[in-house]
Amino acid sequence: MLDTIPATAAEASRHDWTREEVEALFALPFTELLFRAQTVHRQHHRANAVQASQLCSIKTGGCPEDCGYCNQSAKFKTGLTASRLMAVEAVVAEAEAARASGASRFCMGAAWREPKDRDMDTLTEMVCRVKAMGLETCMTLGMLSDSQARALSDAGLDYYNHNIDTSPEDYSRVISTRTFEDRIETLERVRQSGMKVCCGGIIGMGEQAEDRAGLLIALARMTPHPESVPINALVPVRGTPLGDEVLDGEKQISGIEFARVIAIARIMMPASMVRLSAGREAMSDETQALCFAAGANSIFVGERLLTTDNPGESRDEALFRELGLELF
């Protein structure tokens, strides 16, 4: 069976991964899997360089969607205070601070099902101003219409983040207010508009092992692969249905299982940037090191993600110095 598993980067543009192949990757001995992922990684990327993105929550909370992991949904009582869309100047000030602390990309996130057309001028101005500072730009605003995707692309937005979160089969367990197909439609609009796609998922929210395989297969089926693939570890927040399940039960997954997902994402999408995204705050340095060895080559920097804590500059500086990794 092992002979059928591709071991090299000759597979860079494959979109036809079968479930059997992916399950065979999940069944590999951990060190064998890590070796394969690291081999692929070095054929496509600088071995010891990790890209740094900084998040900014430009509109927090009060979201009408019911994503079971998210403390920004208006449907769950999590104690989060909702706020209105930030002013352009305030966003620019945050971007300046992010650039000063070494981020190369600024990712603006809004707790919306979709943007309102009346907000588009403000959003495109944010893109122009942040881009003019020499930062790469990314936004995540929910579903987009064709004209909204075109407007953001015309303003110079480099990346649009829109996660599929889990496998198609598991989607309705996690979210009931939209479908997996809604997600794919927006991703197609983003691709059509010429922006780069940032799309990934969340691990550790009570999904089955086959859903982790299904998530990666769905991502790798996208043609071309998403340029950026965020793999989030669930940040369990009290009051969210999936956060409560994890906090009350034994659904937490091990760092080794998480690194396995990173390694398989790296093998299946060799040229993509694979981001070790949410969840680093609760991870040991050793688990993070395993994820970098497995081929993760991007992180979120700064003290906060959107609403929850992130390691911050001093812990990251110490970790990167210890590992001999360069942030760019």
Phi, psi values for residue 177, rounded to 5°: -90, 0
Pick 74 or 92: Cβ nearer ligand SAM: 74
DSSP alpha helix (H) spans, the chain: 19-27, 30-44, 88-100, 120-132, 146-154, 171-174, 180-193, 209-221, 241-248, 255-268, 285-293, 313-323
Of the candidate residues 25, 111, 216, 233, the single one contacting ligand SF4 (CB under 6 A): 111
Is 138 near ligand SAM (CB under 6 A)?
no
CB-based contact 204:237 (threshold 8 Å): no
Q: Which x/- pattern, by CB under 6 A, does the window 304-323 give for ligand SAM?
A: --x-----------------
Q: Under the criterion CB under 6 A, does residue 195 sit at the interface with ligand SAM?
A: no
Q: Which is nearer to ligand DTB, 21 or 94 (CB)?
A: 94
Q: Determine the size of the site formed for ligand SF4 (CB under 6 A).
A: 9
- The DSSP element (H or E) to which 201 belongs, if any, is strand 201-203
Q: Is 165 in the site for ligand SAM (CB under 6 A)?
A: yes
Assess 73 for contact with ligand SF4 (CB under 6 A): yes
128 annotated ligand binder: no
Longest distance between any two alpha carbons in the chain, whole Å: 57
DSSP label at residue 17: -
Is there a catalytic annotation at residue 199?
no
Query: According to the annotation, is 291 in a ligand binding site?
Result: no
Nearer CB in complex with ligand SF4: 277/288: 277
Q: Is 140 in the site for ligand DTB (CB under 6 A)?
A: yes
- Cβ atoms of residues 102 and 52 within 8 Å: yes
Distance, in Å, from the CA atom of 57 to the CA atom of 113, rounded to the nearest integer, reads 15
Rounded Cα–Cα distance for residues 68 and 175 (Å): 6
Instruction: Give every CB contact of residue 15 below 8 A, 6+ residues apart in sequence.
Output: 220, 221, 222, 223, 225
Q: Output the smallest distance, CB 120 to ligand DTB, in A.
A: 20
User: What does the alpha-carbon distance between residue 275 and residue 297 come to, in Å, rounded to a whole number?
Assistant: 6
Rounded least distance, CB 108 to ligand SF4, Å: 13
Work out which of 5, 67, 306, 325 binds ligand DTB, going by CB under 6 A: 306
Choose, by CB under 6 A, the member of 61, 68, 200, 204 that binds ligand DTB.
200
107 annotated ligand binder = yes
| 166 forms part of the interface with ligand DTB (CB under 6 A) | no
Interface with ligand SF4, residue 63, by CB under 6 A = yes
Catalytic one among 56, 107, 199, 291? 107
Question: Torsion-angle region of residue 196: left (phi > 0), alpha (psi -120 to 50) or beta?
Answer: beta
| CB-CB contact of 70 with 282 (8 Å) | no
- 67 labelled as ligand-binding? yes
Contact 4, 24 (CB under 8 A): yes
Dist CA 124 CA 116 (whole Å): 13
Q: Which of residues 97-126 bind ligand DTB (CB under 6 A)?
A: 107, 109
Residue bearing tokens 């690291």 = 38
266 part of the active site: no
Interface segment toward ligand SAM; rule CB under 6 A; list 25-33, 63-71, 89-97, 100-108: 63-71
- The option from ligand SAM, ligand DTB, ligand SF4, none interacting with 320 (CB < 5 to 8 A, set by class) reads none
Confirm whether 128 is a catalytic residue.
no
| Catalytic annotation, residues | 63, 67, 70, 107, 138, 198, 275
